[in-house]
């Protein structure tokens, strides 16, 4: 698998930041956005230049290619990084399916089980041989700070990765390591999806600060001010349920506070101490309203998906359920029906042995 070239799909915050950063690192990057959202890449379509600011390289990054032609994007590289919200995974899978080849490896950044949903969609299109992978968090703490620019406040130093089929894990890890040094392997994509940190922190943090988000329109520092010791305690109770689901499936998952530290976000300690001591996290403001992806993504594709998975294997998740129920009122749609669960992931009705076999081989 060639890694000198890479296709990045998604023209949002992390897509822009990653395209610029990898260009600075010497990779030949093609940046793609779906035609219906081509306005996101419009400001750089002619110049092919992203202005990068922050704590890493800074200055103009001349991208190799910028396109809304999916065939052109997939022909540009065998390695594809899909960096979009979970609710966009399906649209990209449907667009890519007719043009994917067995040589392609597609990495969802992050995935929260999106690789399993992709597997279902590719199967429905009779596409086989494509290696799917996902990581447990975005590679950078970043924002798109202008129409043609992005700012990186911090870099994740230990991305976790899962691969479908898991027998291809080491090959994919070696391909990604030059792009994201220090990347480590989860046992499989299920363990990786259960290791995502955003759904643990964002829904409890936002919902417990809902009044302040609305009143200030996000003009406060979410982690520094919003994740108080009490909010951190609630987050860790949600995390206990995540860990319980993992244990039911045979995984020894890392608690959220330790995961934040290992990823390089902040110092070792309890969650409040790690976040409070994080230079990159405390620089982030809250979302400007309650319709942000911190709820609309992390509830239906995070907490609800984990809770449904737990239910299939006999694990109760009452706190997750509470936040999904309350969040559904706040979001204005049903977080239980809008996201993904065992049915969408192609694992409904599987017992543990069947699930492990599928994750290892990619074959049901």
Residues 302 and 207 both lie in one domain: yes
- List per-residue pLDDT tens for the chain, 364 residues long: 445 999 999 999 999 999 999 999 999 999 999 999 999 999 999 999 999 999 999 999 999 999 999 999 999 999 999 999 999 999 999 999 999 999 999 999 999 999 999 999 999 999 999 999 999 999 999 999 999 999 999 999 889 999 999 999 999 999 999 999 999 999 999 999 999 999 999 999 999 999 999 999 999 999 999 999 999 999 999 999 999 999 999 999 999 999 999 888 889 999 999 998 988 888 889 999 999 999 999 999 999 999 999 999 999 999 999 999 999 999 999 999 999 999 999 999 999 999 999 999 998 8
Does residue 279 form part of some domain? yes
Residue 98, judged by CB atoms within 10 A of its CB (0-12, 13-18, 19+), counts as exposed
Rounded CA-CA distance 317/52 in Å is: 41
Residue 142: enclosing H or E segment and its boundaries?
A: strand 140-146
289 half-sphere exposure, CB direction, 13 A CA radius: 3
pTM of full prediction above 0.75: yes
Chosen domain end from 166, 193, 220? 193
End-to-end CA distance of the chain: 26
Residues 41 and 179 both lie in one domain: yes
Q: Are 77 and 30 in contact (CB under 8 A)?
A: yes
Does residue 357 form part of some domain? no
Cα 181 off chain centre by: 18
Residue span of the structural domain in which 63 resides? 5-193
Q: Are 203 and 320 in contact (CB under 8 A)?
A: no
Does residue 361 form part of some domain? no
Residues 186 and 207 both lie in one domain: no
Q: Is residue 9 helix, strand or coil?
A: strand
């Amino acid at each position: 698998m060639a890694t000198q070239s890479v296709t990045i799909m998604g023209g949002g915050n992390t897509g822009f930041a990653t395209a610029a950063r990898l260009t600075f690192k010497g990779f030949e990057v093609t940046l793609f956005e779906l035609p219906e959202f081509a306005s996101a890449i419009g400001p750089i379509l002619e110049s092919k230049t992203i202005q990068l600011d922050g704590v890493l390289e800074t200055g103009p990054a001349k991208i190799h290619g910028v396109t809304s032609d999916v065939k052109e994007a997939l022909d540009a590289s065998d390695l594809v990084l899909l960096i979009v919200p979970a609710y966009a995974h399906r649209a990209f899978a449907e667009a890519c399916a007719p043009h994917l080849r067995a040589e392609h490896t597609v990495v969802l950044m992050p995935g929260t089980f999106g690789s399993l949903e992709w597997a279902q969609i590719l199967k429905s299109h009779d596409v086989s041989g494509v290696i799917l992978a996902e990581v447990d968090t975005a590679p950078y703490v970043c924002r798109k700070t202008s129409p043609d620019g992005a700012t990186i406040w911090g870099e994740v130093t230990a991305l976790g990765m899962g691969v479908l089929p898991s027998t291809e894990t080491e090959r994919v890890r070696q391909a990604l390591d030059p792009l994201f040094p220090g990347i480590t392997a989860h046992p499989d994509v299920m363990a990786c999806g259960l290791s995502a940190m955003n759904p643990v922190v964002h829904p409890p943090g936002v919902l417990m600060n809902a009044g302040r988000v609305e009143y200030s329109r996000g003009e406060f520092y979410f982690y520094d001010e919003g994740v108080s010791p009490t909010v951190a305690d609630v987050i860790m109770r949600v995390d206990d349920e995540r860990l319980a689901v993992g244990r039911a499936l045979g995984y020894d998952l890392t608690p959220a506070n330790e995961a934040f530290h290992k990823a390089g976000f902040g110092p070792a300690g309890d969650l409040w101490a790690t976040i409070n001591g994080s230079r990159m996290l405390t620089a982030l403001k809250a979302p400007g309203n309650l319709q942000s992806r911190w709820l609309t993504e992390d509830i239906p594709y995070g907490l609800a998906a984990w809770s449904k998975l737990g239910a299939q294997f006999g694990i109760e998740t009452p706190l997750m359920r509470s936040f999904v129920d309350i969040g559904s009122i706040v979001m204005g749609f049903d977080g239980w029906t809008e996201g993904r669960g065992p049915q969408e992931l192609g694992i409904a009705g599987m017992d543990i042995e069947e699930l492990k076999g599928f994750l290892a081989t990619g074959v049901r």
